């Protein structure tokens, strides 16, 4: 009976693992092929005719390097800008009895209910008015502001779990309120800041719809927009597309690995006590 | 050394009137204990003195100067928190040095001050550890050390021993008393434990529901409680209350400390023994007089027999009379 259960669960798990892994393997296989076709003759990732030609071509004959840098710049600035705003806002909401604070938090959350695609047109019109269309600053503002409510909620939950007496002790010890925040609260908030930053970074890194509307100049494209442009030409360059897709996922994988320790403690945030 | 005055302090939290017109005068170098049942406003009063709460009305003066508009850091005091509030990301050494660092003292000076305090509290061997790697008692010592190291004239304690087990508590109590003698700082010490209050305090301030009921030396409080509440709150085993009619004072309620009663053949009160508790050096006897409960202390076990009827003698000089309606002391 027990054995049967084990076998059944193994089968189910194998099926779903394959289902999840197959596309990734497929993309790898296509990225190593030279004929720009999306069809595979076999399920081998690496065959005799495989090569790194697509990767080399990506860096030498396309604008991929520019897009990569664009994406890194945009995502990093969004993360730094967003996390700074979110940390201060969340701390204030956690510690100061603001009039209408709870209502404000709910309103903040309710903005998350509108999908960003619904707001595409208004966003675009607004940015054009301010001359920020086709400009990173516009993207930065939209990305930070759409991710901000979630980040504030997340960080507020963390700050709420830190006993107030820690800052009070610091204040009695001679620090100002702000010093207490920087010297005591922020240093023990590593896990929460890591989770929130990662969320900010990933949102910006993989966003397509807004970037596609705002950025018209291929010099300014971020990676998702750039990648899509491979399809737009007469014949889609599947090999290039696949190679780029593989490369795009590398920073994400790296970040997750680097932050994994902080992430695990950050995901169980409420249970951690200062 | 610092003197502290609280004058007509009132504190509201929303609709709740938590501190009610509290005036206190704490002498320089004094060890004052604020005692009262939990929720009576002790911490709020202490935090008001520290500057962590601001009074709705009233003034706090340190060394004669009003400090209500000053931040905690500007008041020249240190504080030990009930949950210790050690900085979790810093080592014990850094915890102790945190305040000195902010003052901008040179590292050499900081190190020597930290070392001095660590030796005083016997935590030299813990200096490199993080708070999470310390036992409760050790954390407590670090918290006290962090307050001492800044050599402030005024140190505030908020129930510092309430999270320790009984043995550790009585040892730390002794050490805190000793530290007071060494440093000579003014100490305001909050506790709900009346034993801590009477053993530590030069004077005790008894707080009840935001009202300062009495402030006096432990001995005065015990011997001349201002009212029924103070009489019942200070002293273990608790004082007995009997209707005044037993003593010819029908308008009053009579308080009798357990040690003012003894079993004697020629006693004036008839009582029935209900239970005896053996407490090592003595017995705590639970008796009843006409249905009213009475506890007293006896060196010997009361022999069974006579239906446990006994005669009790009461030391009339040690009776306390309280107004039936207001609870105030009648002399
Ligand atoms: N920040 C606050 N907001 C609202 N009520 C509070 C606050 N702090 C304390 N209180 C209330 O004030 C009363 C006294 O609290 P406290 O001073 O902590 O009592 P104690 O230290 O004597 O146990 C309690 O009823 C408590 O609920
Ligand atoms: Mg308290």
What kind of fold does domain A62-266 have according to CATH? MetI-like fold (1.10.3720)
Supply the ipTM of this predicted assembly.
0.89
Q: Is B98 on the interface with A (CB under 8 A)?
A: yes
In this model, does residue A214 exceed pLDDT 60? yes
Q: B147 and B78 in contact (C-beta within 8 Å)? A: yes
B146, A169: Cβ pair inside 8 Å? yes
Q: What is the pLDDT of residues B61-82, one digit of tens each?
A: 999 999 999 999 999 999 999 9
Q: How many of the other CB atoms lie within 10 Å of CB of B22?
A: 24
What mean pLDDT comes out for the span A74-103? 91
pLDDT at position A273: 41
Q: What is the pLDDT of residue A270?
A: 40
**What pLDDT score was predicted for residue B15?**
93
Q: How far is the CA of B148 from the centre of ligand 2 (A)?
A: 21
State the pLDDT at residue A187.
92
Q: Do residues A60 and A52 lie in contact, with contact meaning Cβ atoms separated by under 8 Å?
A: no
pLDDT at B221 over 50: yes
CB atoms within 10 A of CB B137: 16
Q: Are strands B186-191 and B154-158 parallel, antiparallel or unpaired?
A: parallel
| Chain mean pLDDT for chain A | 85
Asked if B200 and B173 touch (Cβ cutoff 8 Å), the reply is yes
Give per-residue pLDDT as tens, B81-132. 999 999 999 999 999 999 999 999 999 999 999 999 999 999 999 999 999 9
CA distance linking residue A240 with residue A54, whole number of Å: 5
* A19-28, A193-202, A232-241, range with the lowest pLDDT: A232-241
What average pLDDT does this structure show over B174-194? 94
A199, pLDDT greater than 90:
no
pLDDT for res A251: 83
Domain boundaries, given as residue ranges, for chain A = 1-51, 62-266
Q: Please compute the mean of the pLDDT values over residues A24-49 and round it to a whole number.
A: 76
Vertex A21: Cα angle to A15 and A23 (nearest 5): 115
Q: Which residue of A has its CA nearest to B148?
A: A173
Q: Is the pLDDT of residue B43 over 70?
A: yes
The SS3 assignment for B216 reads strand
CB contacts under 8 A, A 15-74 vs B, are none
Neighbours of B222 (CB within 10 A): 18
Which of B82, B85, B96, B153 to probe by mutation at the A interface, max A CB count within 10 Å? Answer: B85
Q: What pLDDT is attached to residue A233?
A: 59
What's the gap in Å between B222 CA and the centre of ligand 2?
23
Half-sphere exposure of B157 (CA within 13 A, CB side): 33
Q: How far is A67 from chain B (nearest CA, A)?
A: 40
Nearest to A94 by CA among A169, A196, A185: A185
Instruction: Please state, in angstroms and rounded to a whole number, the distance separating the CA atoms of residues A170 and A165.
Output: 8
Q: Do A173 and B98 touch (CB under 8 A)?
A: yes
Percentage with pLDDT > 70 across chain A: 91
Lowest model confidence (mean pLDDT) among A44-58, B70-84, B175-189, B228-242: A44-58
Residue of minimum CA distance from atom 20 in ligand 1:
B39
Cβ(A152)–Cβ(A86) below 8 Å:
yes
Q: What is the value of pTM for the model shown?
A: 0.86
Task: Return the half-sphere exposure (C-beta side, CA atoms, 13 A cut-off) of residue B67.
Answer: 24
8 Å CB contact of B83 and A165:
yes
The CA-atom distances, in angstroms, between B68 and each of A13, A164, B195 are: 66, 21, 32
Q: What percent of chain B stands above pLDDT 90?
A: 80
Find the mean pLDDT for residues B221-250: 92
Contact criterion met (CB below 8 Å) for B63 and B38 = no
Supply the pLDDT for residue B308: 80
User: Mean pLDDT, to the nearest integer, of A31-47?
Assistant: 73
Q: Over 50: is that where the pLDDT of A272 sits?
A: no
Cβ-Cβ contacts under 8 Å, B146 against chain A: 169, 173
A169 touches chain B (CB under 8 A): yes
Q: Which of B39, B82, B210 to mutate to test ligand 1, by most ligand atoms within 8 A of the CB atom? A: B39
Nearest Cα to Cα of residue A162 among B180, B83, B201: B83
Rounded to a whole number, what is the distance in Å from the CA of A69 to chain B's nearest CA? 36
Write out residues with Cβ below 6 Å of ligand 1.
Answer: B 13, 18, 36, 38-44
CA angle B68–B69–B75, rounded 5-degree value: 70
- Cα torsion angle, B22, B24, B30, B35, sign: negative
Region B284-302: mean pLDDT is 90
Residue B124 sits at the vertex; the CA angle it makes with B123 and B126, to the nearest 5 degrees, is: 65
What strands lie across the sheet with B77-80, from one edge to the other? B77-80, B154-158, B186-191, B31-35, B203-208, B211-216
CA distance B324 to B318: 18
Stretch (H or E) spanning B197 = helix B194-200
How would you write chain A as a 3-class SS string? CHHHHHHHHHHHHHHHHHHHHHHHHHHHHHHCCCCCCCCCCCCCCCCCCCCCHHHHHHHHHCCHHHHHHHHHHHHHHHHHHHHHHHHHHHHHHHHCCCCCHHHHHHHHHHHHHCCHHHHHHHHHHHHHHCCCCCCHHHHHHHHHHHHHHHHHHHHHHHHHCCCCHHHHHHHHCCCCHHHHHHHHHHHHHHHHHHHHHHHHHHHHHHCCHHHHHHCCCCCCCCHHHHHHHHHHCCCCCHHHHHHHHHHHHHHHHHHHHHHHHHHHHHHCHHHCCC
Question: What's the CA dihedral at B215, B220, B225, B230 to 10 degrees?
Answer: 50
Q: At what angle do helices B136-148 and B107-120 cross, to 10 degrees?
A: 130
Contact A176 B87 (CB under 8 A): no
* pLDDT tens digit sequence for B313-322: 999 899 999 9
Rounded to whole angstroms, the Cα distance separating B151 from B139 reads 19
Of all protein residues, whose CA lies closest to atom 7 belonging to ligand 1?
B13
Q: In B, which residues are within 8 Å of A188 by CB distance?
A: 87-89
């Amino acid at each position: 009976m027990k054995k049967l259960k084990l076998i059944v669960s193994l089968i189910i798990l194998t099926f779903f693992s394959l289902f999840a892994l197959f596309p990734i393997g497929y993309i790898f296989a296509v990225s190593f092929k030279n004929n720009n076709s999306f069809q595979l003759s076999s399920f081998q990732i690496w065959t005799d005719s495989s090569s790194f030609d697509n990767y080399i071509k990506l860096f030498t004959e396309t604008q991929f390097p520019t897009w990569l840098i664009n994406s890194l710049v945009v995502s990093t600035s969004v993360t730094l800008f967003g996390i700074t705003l979110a940390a201060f806002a969340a701390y204030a909401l956690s510690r100061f009895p603001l009039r209408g604070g709870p209502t404000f938090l709910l309103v903040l959350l309710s903005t998350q209910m509108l999908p960003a695609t619904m707001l595409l047109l208004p966003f675009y019109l607004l940015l054009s008015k301010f001359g920020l269309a086709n400009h990173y600053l516009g993207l930065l503002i939209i990305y930070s502001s759409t991710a901000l409510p979630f980040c504030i909620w997340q960080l507020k939950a963390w700050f709420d779990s830190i006993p107030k007496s820690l800052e009070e002790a610091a204040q009695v010890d001679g620090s100002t309120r702000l010093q207490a925040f920087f010297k005591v609260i922020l240093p023990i908030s590593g896990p929460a800041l890591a989770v929130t930053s990662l969320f900010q970074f990933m949102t910006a890194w993989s966003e397509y719809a807004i970037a596609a509307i705002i950025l018209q100049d291929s010099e300014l494209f971020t990676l998702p927009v750039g990648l899509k442009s491979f399809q737009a030409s007469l014949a889609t360059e599947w090999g290039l597309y696949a190679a780029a897709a593989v490369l795009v996922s590398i920073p994400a994988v790296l970040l997750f690995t680097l932050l994994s320790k902080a992430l695990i403690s950050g995901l169980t945030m409420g249970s951690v006590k200062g | 050394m610092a003197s502290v005055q609280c004058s007509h302090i009132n504190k509201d939290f929303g609709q709740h009137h938590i501190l009610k017109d509290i005036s206190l005068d704490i002498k320089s170098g004094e060890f004052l204990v604020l005692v009262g049942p939990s929720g009576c406003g002790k911490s709020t009063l202490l935090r008001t003195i520290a500057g962590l709460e601001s009074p709705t009305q009233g003034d706090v003066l340190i060394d004669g100067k009003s400090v209500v508009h000053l931040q905690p850091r500007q008041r020249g005091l240190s504080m030990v928190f009930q949950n210790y509030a050690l900085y979790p990301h810093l080592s014990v050494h850094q915890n102790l040095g945190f305040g000195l660092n902010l003052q901008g003292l040179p590292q050499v000076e900081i190190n020597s001050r930290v070392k001095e305090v660590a030796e005083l509290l016997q935590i030299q061997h813990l200096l490199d550890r993080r708070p999470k790697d310390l036992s409760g008692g050790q954390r407590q010592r670090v918290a006290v050390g962090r307050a001492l190291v800044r050599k402030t004239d005024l140190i505030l304690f908020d129930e510092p021993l309430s999270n320790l087990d009984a043995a550790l508590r009585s040892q730390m109590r002794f050490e805190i008393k000793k530290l007071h003698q060494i440093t000579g700082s003014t100490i305001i010490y909050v506790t709900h434990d009346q034993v801590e209050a009477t053993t530590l305090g030069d004077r005790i301030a008894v707080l009840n529901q935001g009202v300062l009921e009495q402030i006096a030396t432990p001995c005065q409080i015990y011997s001349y409680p201002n009212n029924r509440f103070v009489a019942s709150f200070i002293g273990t085993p608790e004082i007995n209350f009997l209707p005044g009619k037993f003593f010819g004072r029908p308008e009053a309620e009579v308080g009798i400390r357990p040690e003012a009663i003894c079993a004697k053949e020629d006693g004036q009160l008839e009582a029935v023994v209900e239970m005896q508790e053996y407490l090592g050096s003595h017995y705590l006897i639970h008796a009843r007089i006409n249905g009213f409960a009475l506890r007293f202390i006896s060196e010997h076990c009361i022999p069974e027999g006579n239906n446990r009827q006994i005669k009790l003698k009461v030391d009339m000089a040690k009776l306390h009379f309280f107004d039936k309606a207001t609870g105030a002391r009648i002399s």
